[in-house]
Amino acid sequence: MRVGCPAHRRNWLCTKKQETRPQSLGTPVGPPFPTAPLLPSLCMIGSPDSYFWSEGLQPTLVLATVSAAFGSAFQYGYNIAVVNTPHKVLKSFYNETYFERHGTFMDDTVLLLLWSCTVSMFPLGGFLGSLIVGLLVDKCGRKGTLLINDIFAIVPAILMGVSKVARAFELIIFSRVLVGVCAGISYSALPMYLGELAPKNLRGMIGTMTEVFVIIGLFLAQIFSLQAILGNVTGWPVLLALTGVPALIQLLSLPFFPESPRYTLIQKGDEETTRRALRRLRGRADVEAEMEDMRTEERAERAAGHLSVLNLFTFRSLRWQLISVIVLMAGQQLSGINAVNYYADSIYTSAGVEAAHSQYITVAVGVVNIVMTVISAATVERLGRRLLLLAGYGICGSACLVLTLALLFQSTVPELSYLGVICVFAYIAGHSIGPSPVPSVVRTEIFLQSSRRAAFMVDGAVHWLTNFIVGLVFPSIQVAIGAYSFLIFAGLCLLTAVYIYVVFPETKGKTFVEINRIFAKRNKVEIPEEKEGISSAGPSVPAKETSF
């Protein structure tokens, strides 16, 4: 049926509204529009699906997404890379400050330890942030948590900005902990906020903004830290302090946008505020069907109950899901990605690249990262999760092996230095295809609503703890065994790929219920059949559980 003119469209909408009006509070509400796949020409005038698409992408939703993502996810990417290029300048500041205090320069071992602490304090702060984010989002709301989180970006920005004048490198190390807390909180709170703001038909696109802004932050850090811009003796305090600018913009802009409607309705019970927020976000007056959807979802969650982290480790029916998310998040970091990000300039120098040129290679790597992440996002529904993960780890492991050989024999064959640079590009491309973006997709898919919050806490803790370990240990390993350090990452890539190939199922195109059934067979447990009329998004946890 075509509804070409406004009058026909209004009649069509009224008809659908009458068809989907709930008969009772417990009756599931049907979709307000036909659930058939979108027509190829979404922009065709008169298509109900195109009408809903244009209706869903409202300016308020777009601006709220940009404000939240730019002020939060940006911090993660920016602070991963910001100390990479100017590391020699910062080390000189550490040494000069130490000389002014003690009349002698630091021992190389002490300087290496201090720099390792500077790098690794960021993921340590992220780990601390992941432990408190659950309490914050429940007590303060999703938007409220992001606003409070701005403190952990603005304060350290000021401290790092004055560290040179104060002649205190300790301020940099302490500030790295605080910006890490900021990144750890936003790593969980931001996806939750964006997912609850977006309508169902735009949730996937809006959700990817977290990863997009992480990459933008990383890329801008690489640009600003060029020696010709701010990565020099006079500019590095400004370079480090810039992390507070996105947080300040968010602090000034985000209060004008709505809190998560789902949080406002379900946890605050404020229906009128929820209704006003949905009208702003959707651009239409009638939002009762979506509000009823949220009420139905709340009843399903209450029926299922919420599992604690301790429950998550004791339920046999969640055994392989838990192991899988731990392996995927640990493999993401232990495969060596942040070792490459943190110490890219050192790798290029070891590979024979002149110091004046290495900073521009780092920028080129950032471009590769952006391009390959976009390609992964565009193909994940077509190629599947397992294929992208296996291909990514295969490329990363192979790149580490070849890089080891190139570093070992470049003194004999100088041309191998160029092969080393190619290996770094190949590694970044492989990681951007699978290990970086895909775990964020599957961690939601393999856990049901009742266990997802606890799973996200475990997920975040593993992510940041392994990140911290790599940042702290890699410099010493690199000094001790040199090029052979990349063989460790190659081995970890291989082990992760083997686990994915043997254990992890393909989740593409499957409902939560179907994925739950696949893992139930692997866990050797039986799950009760879902009652008719219950949404597949929130089936209950098995009533009878046995521990490990």
> Tens digits of per-residue pLDDT, 121-135?
888 898 899 888 878
The DSSP symbol for 199 reads -
14-18, 466-470, 507-511: which has the highest mean pLDDT?
Answer: 466-470
Q: Answer yes or no: is pLDDT of 307 > 90.
A: no
Residue showing tokens 């590769």: 368
Q: Answer yes or no: is pLDDT of 170 > 90.
A: yes
Q: Answer yes or no: is pLDDT of 384 > 90.
A: no
Which residue type is seen at 423? C
- Other C-beta atoms closer than 10 Å to the C-beta of 250 total 26
Between the CA of residue 445 and those of 293, 498, 538, what are the distances in Å? 20, 21, 11
Q: Answer yes or no: is pLDDT of 547 > 90.
A: no
Interatomic CA distance for residues 151 and 23, integer angstroms: 47
CB 221, CB 78: distance < 8 Å: yes
Q: Poorest-confidence range of 3-7, 75-79, 386-390, 443-447?
A: 3-7
pLDDT at residue 350 in the model: 64
Which residue type is seen at 127? F
- Phi, psi dihedral angles at 433 (to 5 degrees): -75, -45
pLDDT at residue 529 in the model: 47
Which residue type is seen at 422? I
pLDDT at residue 27 in the model: 36
Residues 6+ apart with CB under 8 A from 157: 175, 179, 240, 241, 242, 243, 244, 245, 247
Interatomic CA distance for residues 132 and 135, integer angstroms: 6
pLDDT at residue 300 in the model: 56
Based on DSSP, count helices (H) and strands (E) in the chain, helices before strands: 26, 0
Between the two ends of the chain, the Cα-to-Cα distance in Å is 55
Interatomic CA distance for residues 190 and 68, integer angstroms: 7
- Other C-beta atoms closer than 10 Å to the C-beta of 384 total 16
Interatomic CA distance for residues 95 and 117, integer angstroms: 15
- Other C-beta atoms closer than 10 Å to the C-beta of 92 total 13
pTM: 0.72
Residues 6+ apart with CB under 8 A from 512: 445, 448, 536, 537, 538, 539
> For residue 235, what pLDDT band results from cuts at 50, 70 and 90?
very high
pLDDT at residue 57 in the model: 67
Alpha carbons within 13 A on the beta-carbon side of 132: 16
What value does the mean pLDDT take over residues 510-518?
73
Interatomic CA distance for residues 537 and 448, integer angstroms: 7
CB 215, CB 367: distance < 8 Å: no
